[in-house]
Every structure is written in structure tokens, then in C-alpha cells.
Amino acid sequence: MTPNKSAVVKNGKACWQLDFGVDPITQKRVRRFFKTEAEADEEIKICAKREKSYGEFWLRMTAAERAAAVITLQEIKTNGMNVTEVWSQFQAQKKEISAQSATSPKPYFEVVEEFRRLKTEAGDSTRYVKNTCAFLHKFGVGREKQNIHEITAADLGKWMSMMAKERGWSLRTKDTYQILFGSLWSLAIKNGWAALNIVDRLQPINLPGKEVKIYTNDETLNLMAAVMSNPATQQIIAPMALGFFGCMRPEEVESKRAKSEGVPEGKWFNWADIDLKNGLVKVRREIAKVGDERTIRLQPCAVEWLKLAKELKNPLPSVNERRLVDACCKQIGLDEWIRDGMRKNCATHLRAVYKNDYEVTQDCGNSVGVLLESYAALHVPREVSLAHWKITPRRVREHLQSKAWEDVLEKASVKAVKTAEAQPAP
């Protein structure tokens, strides 16, 4: 359409205006201003050429094509974009898919199944493999037959953001899943099914720094005192001692891996794995974290606790351990149960005993390298670590008869009452 030209005054200055009328999509009047009439006339000529060119193109389209074009333009504008931006994004996406060109295209579903097979052969638990692949398949809904190299970073990023919002993922959870997808794409690259790991193109997740924590010696003393304080809780002396003084993982003591893989009950972790005479604990392949089969050398303190636990006929694996531990924590007013905290205490304080981190790793297992890297930064004084190994059954019995223990119980009781009063009425 040829615009109407007129001389006007804009911001106190004389100029020339071209009025293009109302935009049929935005329903807003379109006007452009020029300093001179010559500039306005030149724009009219350009518009006339464009109108002829675009008009001929428009007339060659079918009625359905013109209707679809208008609807698409309206949707693009409604979403705050223009045709150029949409086209640029399309080209970038096409370029990304081209960069991923595979020597041997493979559907996403089949890649996940290969991932399942490899994880199973590597010895990962049945439950872990099942849950992991189920999660990977959630992303694959609707694209099971799509070749993995055709999936873009934008596809994965959009899905991850949607799931994080819908499920309330923490940054750490999102980072864990992002790493999982990275592993899947690494497998595809290794087999020639993709040439690019799209996870590398996602926005890196800046995780907050971990707050390194262990229990103080007083907290350890109070926890063991709570365990010793009544016959019911005395039944979990063994798992508490194996954690605080034997560096075993909770899941190893509980035989979680063996249970999830259907290992017969007779092969779960039990007293036959503990050699009290020689101060050794055998963490068998069925019990250990994958690749972490080892023999733990028990310190004298640990041997004393385990002898007492055996005399009291502690079951291994223990029964109702979580409930009994919670009761002990409540009894002494301990709010935070540090994840794998007992083992972390043990590893931290073993450094003062062995004076050699390699020796510590022999008892704790293959992941303790990271653990020591973090917990060495605590700079726990040697005398504090050595005091940990003096928390023996005798020391705890003495504590149970002391004024200090009475004070612990009184403070915990007052705290419990205040907490209950603060709760809203039902």
C-alpha cells in the first residue's frame, strides 16, 4: 500500500510524515518521519517496489497458504518475536542437528536400552538401573523413534526447565539429571550415533558450596549414651559402632544392595563378616558399593563396642534402626542427622591415627578420596581426633551417671516442649 505523505511538525521541528495506515495484525497505526521531502519520496519509491514484489508473491500463494501465513505471523508477534528471529533460530537448530550428524543413526529409545544393558553388566543395582532408565524414558515420550542426533540442546533444556518447575527440583537435583543425560549422549558419541554432546550446550548449573559437617565429640558421646540408655535402643549399638568407629556405609551395614538385587538373606551382611578376635570386618562384593570390596581394620574402641553389641545379641542387619535412631536424636535434642555422618566422623578422625590418607582409604573405600579432600579442610586438631577414639562403652557408662547427661536431657526436654507449643493447634 502506498503511504500518504504530509508536512507535519514533530517535537517542535518541521518534517515529513508517511502514514501507512493501520497494521492488520497489531491494529496500530504505522507512521514514519523524515527530515526532508526528498527522503520521504525515496521511501515511497522503495515501498512501491516492495509492494509489487511482495504482492506478486502473495498472489501466487493459495488461499490456505495466505491464511496460514497470517495466523503464523500473528502468533509470532503475540510471543514478542519477529520472523527474522524465528528464522535465525531455525537455522541455528538445523546447524546443530547437522553438527551432530551420526555415522550410524540410532533411535533415542534404543540408546537408552543400550545404556540399561551396560549399567546392568557393570554391576549397578537392579533398582538403580530400573529407576534411571525410567527417568530417561520420560524425556523420550513422543520421541522414542527419533534419532538421538536429531535431538537438540534446546529440546532437552526446555524439558529440564519444565520438569524442574513442575517437580520443584533443587539445583543439585537438576545438576544430577543433567550429568545423567551427559552420560547417555557420551555413550551415543562413543558408538557413532551422535557427534555432539548436547549437554555441553546447556547452561552450567552453579551449585552452592557444600557445608562440610561432622559431629562434635560431645554429640557423638551423647548419641552413644542415648543408644545405651535403654534395652530397645541398645539393639542398634552394632550399626552405630560400625559407622562411628568402623567407617562402614549405612547401606553396607543394611545390605541395601544385596536386598535390591535379590541376594539370599543368608548372604546379607552379618556377624560372620566380623572377626572380633583379629579386629577385622569383611565388606563382601554383594554388600559393598560397586568396586569397593575391602577388609576394614577395626580400632580397639570399635572392637569394644562390637563385643558389647554381640553380647547383647544385636541383629545384623538391624531391625527398626531408623526409628530407634530418631528416638535417640529426640532424646538428646539433636536436630540434624548428617547424611552418612557417622562414617564421615570416622574417616576424619582416622587421619590422626594412621597419619597417612592412603591408609584411611583402605578402610573407608574408593570414594573417600573426595571425602578426605573436603574433610581435611576442617583442620580438626589431632587431640580432638584422638579423643574420638576414647568414646568407649566405659566412657559412655560414666557419662550416663554424670550431671552433664542430666543437663543434656533437661535441655532436650525444654526444647521439645517449646517446639510443641509453637505448633499450630489442630
Q: How confident is the model at residue 119 (pLDDT cuts 50, 70, 90)?
A: confident
- In Å, how far from its chain's centre is CA 250? 20
Per-residue pLDDT tens over the stretch 300-331: 999 999 999 999 999 999 999 989 999 999 99
Closest CA to 243 of 396, 130, 346, 99: 346
Measure CA of the first residue to CA of the last residue in the chain; give whole Å.
Answer: 71
pLDDT of residue 99 exceeding 60, the answer is: no
pLDDT of residue 200 exceeding 70, the answer is: yes
Whole-number Å distance between alpha carbons of 328 and 316? 19
Burial code (b: 16+ CB inside 10 Å, e: under 16) for 181-197 equals beebbebbbeeebbebb
Per-residue pLDDT tens over the stretch 31-75: 889 999 999 999 888 877 777 766 655 545 566 776 777 777 777
Task: Indicate if the alpha-carbon torsion angle 91, 95, 98, 100 is positive or negative.
Answer: negative
Per-residue pLDDT tens over the stretch 348-387: 999 999 998 888 988 988 666 676 777 777 889 999 999 9
Give the dihedral of Cα atoms 137, 141, 145, 147; nearest 10 deg.
-70
Q: What is the DSSP string of 294-350?
A: EEEEPPHHHHHHHHHHHHTT--SS-SSHHHHHHHHHHHHT-----TTHHHHHHHHHH
Share of the chain above pLDDT 70, in %: 87
Q: What is the DSSP string of 132-192?
A: HHHHHHHHTTT-TTSBGGG--HHHHHHHHHHHHHHHT--HHHHHHHHHHHHHHHHHHHHTT
The winner for highest mean pLDDT among 201-215, 358-372, 408-422 is: 408-422
Beta-strand relationship, 274-275 and 13-22: unpaired
